[in-house]
């Protein structure tokens, strides 16, 4: 019996709790107060000056660092007042920072700043601060702030170092060019899709050539096609086996540029967090033996949205080109004259093998890998499987969607010559936090699964390459990822 459901839009996931709200102060030409003359205060005065503020420092005995900084500020002027601060000093200030010796002084400074309506930071005393600075990656006007809410500044600095390594210094020039271009692009009054396309192309060129300044020729070449209207399109995107960390960079960029996302029921919910918040997200899942959307309905919806000028992402679990009906959707788009492309994803077999730490083509054990589906259009075991190939001891076979047909598949394969003791591993929800693994000889696996039925997407891997894994797992009834991690830790 089949059950049909209609595509359904889902609500955008709300943002999770924030320890701090990240915000960026515009301080160009504004007055900033710094109390204290020690090196810690000098560093904050340097940041404020770099942001364009006119910094007034109140310190009876400023350090040499502070004096040198005032003599050669990075941007905004730094004026030294060799005295203690007073309440009158806060008048007209945009921001106030203090390096205080104790809580009483910190409380007094914070109270005076707030009475004057000035946001305040007391260095290393978050209880008295309206805001914190965090670690900074400076590719101005591209600026990245990192905060751990005071939990671990060293950790924040480590994250900053990682990001520094990923963001070329030349991005500063491209970010400056983007700022200069924005009014020109806005003046064109382009529709959203065309604007988005322009900035995607701009970003792609910046990423390709980050170490040189953008030339006029670059910008003119980008501006010319932006004036042309753009129709809708369809992009089939592989969401990978489930773990969001396994999304490709191209998949993430595509999700962030989508107008509408049509996603399968097997796509992990966390994957959708990478999508543009404004994108409409619609569940069009096809689930074996359960309520599903008809493929014709999915095709019709996909094409109608693209014809309306939308950028449609068809998001599929694993890789779209493996048992994902990609050929049917591509054919439908071509017949309708809709532009279509594919973003590949990590297929579930690769994800499962990586977590099992087993090579699917181990030398001397397997000379090839084959992927087969466990059920056909009628939900039964396909009649055209090459059983001699499945029985070949030098082949690793990966069976997709085998939940209902595994017993028949095993019986037929053994009849065709598959060794009944061939190692096999069933992986449910591969690569996800709640991944579950059952390892057994192939003839024992159906009964093991029947005793503990899977509730999520399942894949079965069969072959001699799993012999060592099976011996390791022999004492376990059901291995979870946590159990395997614990076992590895105990060995080491």
Higher pLDDT: 210 or 419? It is 419
Q: Is the pLDDT of residue 146 over 50?
A: yes
pTM of the entire predicted model: 0.64
Q: Is the pLDDT of residue 375 over 50?
A: yes
pLDDT band at 345 (very low <50, low <70, confident <90, very high): very high
Residues 6+ apart with CB under 8 A from 454: 403, 426, 428, 436
Give the three-state DSSP class for 112. helix
Higher pLDDT: 309 or 349? It is 349
Residue 299, classified by CB atoms within 10 Å of its CB into exposed (0-12), middle (13-18) or buried (19+), is: buried
Q: Is the pLDDT of residue 14 over 70?
A: yes
pLDDT band at 185 (very low <50, low <70, confident <90, very high): confident
| Angstrom distance (rounded) from CA 68 to CA 49 | 13
The residue whose two tokens read 């503990």 is 452
Model pLDDT, residue 117? 97
Q: What is the mean pLDDT of residues 15-23?
A: 86
Give the three-state DSSP class for 440. strand
The residue whose two tokens read 């600095």 is 157
Least confident of 43-57, 260-274, 417-431, 441-455: 260-274
Q: Is the pLDDT of residue 485 over 60?
A: no
Q: Is the pLDDT of residue 489 over 50?
A: no
Q: Is the pLDDT of residue 161 over 90?
A: no
Q: Is the pLDDT of residue 332 over 60?
A: yes
Query: Can 264 be counted among the known catalytic residues?
Result: yes
Query: Can 169 be counted among the known catalytic residues?
Result: no
pLDDT band at 120 (very low <50, low <70, confident <90, very high): very high
| Angstrom distance (rounded) from CA 109 to CA 459 | 63
| Angstrom distance (rounded) from CA 391 to CA 427 | 21
Q: What is the mean pLDDT of residues 46-70?
A: 96
* Helix, strand, coil in percent for the chain, rounding step 5: 40, 20, 40
Catalytic residue, chosen from 30, 44, 281, 286, is 286
Model pLDDT, residue 225? 58
Strands annotated E in 168-218: none
Model pLDDT, residue 309? 85
Helix H or strand E segment including 9: strand 8-10
Model pLDDT, residue 365? 92
Residue 285 DSSP code: -
Catalytic residue, chosen from 89, 99, 259, 264, is 264
Chain CA centroid to CA 62, Å: 46
* Average per-residue pLDDT for the chain: 88
158: number of Cβ within 10 Å: 13
The backbone region for 374, taken as left when phi is positive above 0, alpha when psi lies in -120 to 50, beta otherwise, is: alpha
Residue 88 DSSP code: G
Structure-block tokens of residue 361? 């083509």
Percent of the chain with pLDDT over 90: 57
142: number of Cβ within 10 Å: 17
| Angstrom distance (rounded) from CA 77 to CA 69 | 10
pLDDT band at 11 (very low <50, low <70, confident <90, very high): confident
Model pLDDT, residue 333? 95
| Angstrom distance (rounded) from CA 224 to CA 439 | 59
Residue 436 DSSP code: E
Q: What is the mean pLDDT of residues 300-320?
A: 93
């Amino acid at each position: 019996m089949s059950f049909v459901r209609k595509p359904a839009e889902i609500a955008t996931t709300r943002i999770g709790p924030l320890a701090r709200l990240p915000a960026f102060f515009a301080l160009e030409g504004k007055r900033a107060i710094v109390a204290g003359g020690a090196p810690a205060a000098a560093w904050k005065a340097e940041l404020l000056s770099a942001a364009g503020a006119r910094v007034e420092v109140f310190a009876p005995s400023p350090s040499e660092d502070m004096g040198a900084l005032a003599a050669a500020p990075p941007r905004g002027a730094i004026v030294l007042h060799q005295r203690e601060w007073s309440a009158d000093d806060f008048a007209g200030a945009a921001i106030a920072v203090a390096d205080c010796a104790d809580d009483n002084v910190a409380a007094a400074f914070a109270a005076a700043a707030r009475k004057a309506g000035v946001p305040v930071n007391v260095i290393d005393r978050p209880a008295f601060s309206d805001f914190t600075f965090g670690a900074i990656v400076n590719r101005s006007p591209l600026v990245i702030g990192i905060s751990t809410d005071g939990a671990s500044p060293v950790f924040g600095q480590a994250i900053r170092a990682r990001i520094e390594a990923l963001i070329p210094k030349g991005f500063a020039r491209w970010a400056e060019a983007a700022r200069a271009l924005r009014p020109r692009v806005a003046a064109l009054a382009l529709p959203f899709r065309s604007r988005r396309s322009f900035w995607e192309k701009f970003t792609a060129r910046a990423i390709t050539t980050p170490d040189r300044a953008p030339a006029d020729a670059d910008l003119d070449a980008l501006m010319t096609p932006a004036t042309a209207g753009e129709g809708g399109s369809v992009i089939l995107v592989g969401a990978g086996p489930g773990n969001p960390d396994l999304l490709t960079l191209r998949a993430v960029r595509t999700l962030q540029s989508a107008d509408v996302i049509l996603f399968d029921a097997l796509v992990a919910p966390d994957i959708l967090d990478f999508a543009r918040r404004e994108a409409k997200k619609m569940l069009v899942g096809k689930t074996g033996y359960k309520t599903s959307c008809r493929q014709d309905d999915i095709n019709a919806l996909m094409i109608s949205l693209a014809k309306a000028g939308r950028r449609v992402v068809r998001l599929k679990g694993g890789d779209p080109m493996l048992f994902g009906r990609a050929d049917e959707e591509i054919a439908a788009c071509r017949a309708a004259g809709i532009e279509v492309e594919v973003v590949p994803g990590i297929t579930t077999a690769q994800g499962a093998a990586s977590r099992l730490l087993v090579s699917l083509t181990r030398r001397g054990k397997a000379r090839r890998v084959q992927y087969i589906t466990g059920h056909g259009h009628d939900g039964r075991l396909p009649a055209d499987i090459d059983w001699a190939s499945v029985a070949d001891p030098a082949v690793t076979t990966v069976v997709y969607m085998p939940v209902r047909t595994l017993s028949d598949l095993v019986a037929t394969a053994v009849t065709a010559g598959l060794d009944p003791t061939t190692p096999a591993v069933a992986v449910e929800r591969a690569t996800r936090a709640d991944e579950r693994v059952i390892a057994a000889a192939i003839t024992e696996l159906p009964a093991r699964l029947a005793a503990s039925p899977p509730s999520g997407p399942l894949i079965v891997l069969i072959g001699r390459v799993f012999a060592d894994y099976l011996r390791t797992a022999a004492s376990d009834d059901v291995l979870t990822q946590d159990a395997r991690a614990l076992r590895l830790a105990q060995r080491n």
